[in-house]
Structure formats: structure tokens, C-alpha cells
Chain A
Amino acid sequence: EVQLVESGGGLVQPGGSLRLSCVASGFAFSTYWMHWVRQVPGKGLVWVSHVNSAGTTTTYADSVKGRFTISRDNAKNTLYLQMNSLRAEDTAVYYCVREKWTFDYWGQGTLVTVSS
């Protein structure tokens, strides 16, 4: 069974940092592209970032470019999102997502709240 389990969310002050993790199981993690998608509670879905299977190619939404870094450790079956210079508008549930053609499996999400 495919499982994606996110962790690392929480309350952080504006300008602070957090690192999200997503542990994958039930599939060959190293062969899939992975993504982060976020959702402000009660609002729509916004794609944040992607990394290719080898971890050598990454892309970012303009809203997070230069502040967020996606990475992966295929030996640990883990996806990361390092978030720096956090802003109030980054408050959201962050989902770890597997790509097979499109986003076929989603984790349960981890809530990030940026507030003083």
C-alpha cells in the first residue's frame, strides 16, 4: 500500500524557518517524481514545488522561489521541503504528492502556521 506521511509542520514566526519531511512507503520511491502542494484551510490547491526522481532537477512556484528548497534522500525514501523567510501567506496545509502522469497519491498533509 502506498503511504506518504508528512511531518515537521507547526507554528513559526514570520521570517522563521521550518523543514517538512515526507516518508514514503509501499512503492519504489526513487523512480518517481515528487511534489509539494499546499492548501490554505477552506481554500483551493496550489502547487509549490517538484523534484525529479534523481533529485537533480527542481522547479518552484514564483511565490516561493528563492525561499523554499525541495530535496530528497532516496536511500531514506524521504522528501523534504526547507522553508525559509516564512510569511503569513505561507500558512497552509502542505501535502506531499507522488507523480505518475499526474498527482496520483497524496499524503494527509501537515499544517504550517506563520504567525507572531
Chain B
Amino acid sequence: DIVMTQSPDSLAVSLGERATINCKSSQSVLSSSNNKIYLAWYQQKAGQPPKLLIYWASTRESGVPDRFSGSGSGTDFTLTISSLQAEDVALYYCQQYYTSPYTFGPGTKVDIK
């Protein structure tokens, strides 16, 4: 199974400041057949199901604010919130969908400082 890890476990950022979350996969999730990276990011607010933010490592889902961006390649990935808003307080998960079982990272909690 591909193991996903995230860092930090939690972070507190001032409103308007940048938040950066890291994710690492235990093996590459880059497909050689189509050159796509099978890595997604989700946001989960309290009492709600997860919401897809980013797929193919850097493609923003429709309707997601452009302050959210994804980057990375191979086995190291980053989710950046360029200017933290109050509504961004949530848990954030990375996930690989390269191969079954489709594994998630343990999550990173983002709070306001």
C-alpha cells in the first residue's frame, strides 16, 4: 500500500498570512502512461464531509478560491493557502488515487492564530 504522510499535524496562521501543508507519498504517484500525478487535496470542516479542493496535484476544482494552490512532483507535494481566511479553518487531507487502496494522509488542522 502507498503510505501518505503529512506535516505539520497542525498549524495556526494569522488572517491574511500564508499557510503551507506538506504531503509525502511512500512511492511515486506519477503515471508514466499519461504523465499525470494522482494526488488530491481535500478540506473537511467540522461536521461536514470532505470537499475536493485540488486534483492532479495542482488542478483546482471548480468553485475553489484561487488562494488555494497545489504543487509538487514525484513523492513530495504542497498545499498552499496564500491568504488565510476565517472560513479556511478546517482539516486538510492529501490522498493518492494512483492505485488501490486509495490512501489518505492523516490530516493537518489549520487554525487562526
Q: Which A residues are closer than 8 A to B by beta carbons?
A: 35, 44-47, 50, 59, 61-62, 95, 101-109
Contact = CB atoms under 8 A, between A and B. Distances in A.
A99 B56 CA distance: 13
A111 B48 CA distance: 13
A35 to B, nearest CB: 8
Interface residues of B, number: 22
Given A102-B97, A104-B61, A44 B52 contact: no
A103 B40 contact: yes
B45 interface: no
Contacts of B101: 47, 59, 61-62
A102 B97 CA distance: 6
Given A45-B93, A101-B97, A106 B51 contact: yes
Nearest to A109: B49
B55 A101 contact: yes
B56 A45 contact: no
B95 A46 contact: no
Main secondary structure of the interface of B (DSSP, over half): loop
Interface string B29-47: 0000000001010100000
B93 A44 contact: yes
Nearest to A105: B52
Nearest to B56: A101
A47 B49 contact: no
Contacts of A47: 100-104
B106 interface: yes
A35 B97 CA distance: 12
B50 interface: yes
B70 interface: no
Given A62-B101, A103-B52, A103-B97, 5 more contacts: A50-B100, A59-B101, A101-B97, A108-B48, A108-B49
